[in-house]
């Protein structure tokens, strides 16, 4: 580590999947001034090496929070209310779309006559939650033209051919074939253009 560099550990809440850890590292490295980022899944923390002349701690915190993580030493508006609602819902959030189980995959997804979006997600995936606003907008724009489903990552992995899928993932199907696949973050504009093309076809 050079004299200009500093290293800081950020403890995180709810980092419990390898894909999320890798995505966190990748996104933090995109921030100007960040030289390295290493996420430790076991310790639930990310260590960032950065140039304090180019980037400050607040910017690093914002980068982490943008991916859906919360820092234990910060207070968040409505945090208690969200926790209470979480318990009230028996530990699960209400589904964004109709859920698909492994035994329904063939009929609902592969057998669909309309373009279909399958969102592979997990209840404890912070990155998944950050995608909800964009997915809501897409589903509203293509209501009646495209089917939107969600599927728990463990259910998806029990389907032949999808054993290695990670959460979050967005799969676009056209008459039973995957025509576009995104693992991790996706560009809403690009997905919308692809859906528009499938609807016109």
Q: What is the CATH number of the domain that holds 158?
A: 3.40.30.10
Say what the pLDDT of residue 49 is. Answer: 95
Say what the pLDDT of residue 25 is. Answer: 92
Give a yes or no: residue 135 inside a domain: yes
Which residues of the chain are modeled with pLDDT < 70? 1-3, 16, 75-94
> Hunting for tokens 């180019």 — which residue is that?
54
Question: Do 61 and 12 belong to one domain?
Answer: yes
Does residue 50 sit in helix, strand or coil?
A: strand
Question: Do 106 and 156 belong to one domain?
Answer: yes
Say what the pLDDT of residue 90 is. Answer: 43
Q: What is the CATH number of the domain that holds 28?
A: 3.30.70.100
Question: Do 118 and 40 belong to one domain?
Answer: no
**For residues 55 and 33, is the Cβ–Cβ distance under 8 A?**
yes
Question: Do 122 and 192 belong to one domain?
Answer: yes
DSSP-assigned letters across all residues of 134-201:
HHHHHHHHTTTTSEEEEEEHHHHHTSTT-TT--SSEEEEEETTEEEEEEES---HHHHHHHHHHHHH-
Say what the pLDDT of residue 91 is. Answer: 47
Question: Do 191 and 155 belong to one domain?
Answer: yes
Say what the pLDDT of residue 87 is. Answer: 44
Give a yes or no: residue 81 inside a domain: no
Domain boundary among 40, 58, 74: 74
Question: Do 183 and 108 belong to one domain?
Answer: yes
Question: Do 108 and 190 belong to one domain?
Answer: yes
Question: Do 62 and 102 belong to one domain?
Answer: no
Give a yes or no: residue 138 inside a domain: yes
Domain boundary among 36, 58, 74: 74
Say what the pLDDT of residue 196 is. Answer: 96
**For residues 157 and 150, is the Cβ–Cβ distance under 8 A?**
no
Give a yes or no: residue 58 inside a domain: yes
Name 149's Cβ contacts closer than 8 Å, sequence gap at least 6: 97, 98, 99, 100, 108, 109, 116, 117, 118, 119
> Hunting for tokens 């310790």 — which residue is that?
43
Give a yes or no: residue 10 inside a domain: yes
Question: Do 130 and 196 belong to one domain?
Answer: yes
Based on the structure, what is the number of domains in the chain?
A: 2
Domain boundary among 21, 42, 74: 74
Q: How far apart are CA 13 and CA 16, in angstroms?
A: 9
Q: How far apart are CA 23 and CA 186, in angstroms?
A: 12
Domain coverage including residue 27:
6-74
Give a yes or no: residue 44 inside a domain: yes
Question: Do 63 and 147 belong to one domain?
Answer: no
Give a yes or no: residue 89 inside a domain: no
Count of Cβ atoms closer than 10 Å to residue 33 Cβ: 15
Say what the pLDDT of residue 184 is. Answer: 85
Q: How many helices (H) and strands (E) does the chain have?
A: 8, 8
Q: How far apart are CA 201 and CA 174, in angstroms?
A: 10
Q: What is the DSSP letter of 32?
A: T
Question: Do 112 and 166 belong to one domain?
Answer: yes
């Amino acid at each position: 580590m050079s004299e200009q560099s500093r290293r800081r550990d950020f403890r995180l809440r709810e980092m419990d999947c390898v894909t999320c850890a890798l995505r966190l590292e990748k996104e933090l490295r995109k921030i100007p001034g960040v030289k390295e980022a290493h996420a430790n899944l076991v310790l639930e923390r990310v260590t960032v090496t950065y140039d304090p002349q180019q980037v400050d701690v607040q910017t690093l915190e914002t980068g982490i929070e943008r991916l859906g993580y919360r820092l234990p030493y910060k207070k968040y508006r409505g945090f208690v209310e969200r926790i209470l609602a979480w318990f009230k819902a028996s530990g699960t959030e209400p589904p964004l779309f109709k859920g698909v189980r492994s035994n329904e995959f063939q009929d609902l997804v592969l057998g669909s006559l309309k373009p279909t979006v399958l969102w592979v997600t997990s209840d404890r995936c912070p990155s998944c939650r950050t995608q909800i606003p964009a997915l809501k907008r897409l589903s509203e724009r293509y209501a009646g033209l495209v089917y939107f489903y969600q599927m728990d990552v463990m259910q998806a992995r029990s389907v032949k051919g999808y054993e290695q899928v990670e959460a979050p993932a967005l799969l676009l199907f056209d008459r039973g074939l995957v025509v576009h696949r995104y693992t991790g973050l996706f560009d809403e504009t690009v997905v919308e253009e692809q859906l528009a093309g499938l609807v016109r076809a």
